[in-house]
Amino acid sequence: MNEPLIVGWAHTKFGKAEAPDTMALMAEVALPALDHAGIAPDAVDGIFTGVYNNGFQRQDFQGALVAMGSPELAGVPFMRTENACATGSAALYAAADFIASGRGKVALVIGAEKMTAIPIADVGGVLLSASYVAEEGDTPGGFAGVFGRITDAYFQRNGDKSEELAMIAAKNHDNGARNPYSHMQKAFDLAFCNTPSDKNPLVAGPLRRTDCSLVSDGAAAIVLAAPEVAEGLTRAIRFRARQQAGDMLALSRRDPTEFAGAHRVWRQALDQAGLAISDLSLVETHDCFTTAEMIEYEAMGLAPRGQGWRVIREGTTRIDGALPVNPSGGLKSRGHPIGATGVSQHVMAAMQLMGDAGGMQVPGATLAGVFNMGGTAVANYCSILERAR
């Protein structure tokens, strides 16, 4: 098998975009990513598009929209993936398998979402379609309500950790303020994040607004190439590991505070890479809510179950800590356009490994972990990346 390498990328600023739809957003990154890689459009063997949609816009058949916005790519075979909030990683892994199998040598991966074109009151209902609707589809507060219940359950077992959640929020907002692609480029201190107020109200259960990721538009693209193609290009990032693990969709059929699928995929990825979590230089993880990042500390092996809150209190995951987590600001500050997120996380990690991360750069970064999940740790993807050139 020819394991692919990441050879180029492009990224829009996340936020409320002037682009009216995903077709326009994807056009902003498709050709720029190829240009960054030094690859001509006619060399692309396959296009892999990740868009969740499911009600954000009337137009679907999203894979076909890439060539509509970038006619230079007309005639290239394409496909579209959907795996809830891990939709972008699903597209990336499908493209990687395409190259590894020998079916193609160059693949263009694009993740995108236009979330702000519908009324904000309707967004929660669209996102709840990524839950088990039969049991969770009427949860007050949408997905924030789902995570509010998970947070309540965690607190009942381990004590009120609202301050630790606020520390995660403050960390990620501080990091995101240095990321030019972030939706929210503003730092908030611990006192603000920890204190419910008119500007930071309670949203669901103990979760405040600063504990919740943003409703964002955006797109990100990655170019993958077979080793023989990558040899002649400027940059190359290899997958030291890439793994996927699933879990039950219905929260009633598992312990929602465990993230067992996330724990499994981290073990698989670290074993494949022959590494320990302490060997990594940084991690970009899926902090759709601050509770998710705290539980993911446990899943990745930084703390035993029920003690993820200790990790942020000890400063381990700060940008100057032993293992910086979300130096880009994460979903919390960078934003969370559903289909774009998994691709964006890999772009952020690749920038770190190339030393191109500017003000958010982790000095001497050599190994980066990426964790992206769909739903409440239902579709779990973990990559470990390192610079090949």
Q: Is 180 helix (H, G, I), strand (E, B) or coil?
A: coil
Side-chain half-sphere of 140: how many Cα atoms within 13 Å?
3
d(C-alpha 37, C-alpha 172), whole Å = 29
Please state, in angstroms and rounded to a whole number, the distance separating the CA atoms of residues 250 and 133: 9
Question: What CA–CA distance (Å, rounded) separates 297 from 318?
Answer: 13
What is the Cα 300 distance to its own chain's centre? 16
85 annotated active-site: yes
Q: Measured between alpha carbons, how far is 24 from 154 in angstroms, rounded to an integer?
A: 41
- Out of 11, 263, 336, 346, the active site residue is 336
DSSP 109-162: EEEEE--TTS-HHHHHHHHGGGS-HHHHTT-TTHHHHHHHHHHHHHHHHH---H
**Nearest of 97, 87, 93, 116 to residue 340 by alpha carbon:** 87
Residues 219, 66 contacting (CB under 8 angstroms): no
Which of 85, 193, 212, 382 is catalytic? The answer is: 85
Structure token digits, residue 54: 């499911």
Q: How far is CA 85 from CA 81, 376, 381, in A?
A: 11, 9, 11
Q: Secondary structure of the chain: what % helix, strand, coil (to 5)?
A: 40, 20, 40
Active site residue 382: no
Residue 44, SS3?
coil
Secondary structure (DSSP) of 192-258: HHHS--SSS-EEETTEEGGGB----BEEEEEEEE-HHHHTTSS--EEEEEEEEEE--S-GGGS-TTT
End-to-end CA distance of the chain: 20
Torsion of CA 384, 147, 200, 129, to 10 degrees: 90
- Give me the active site residues, please: 85, 336
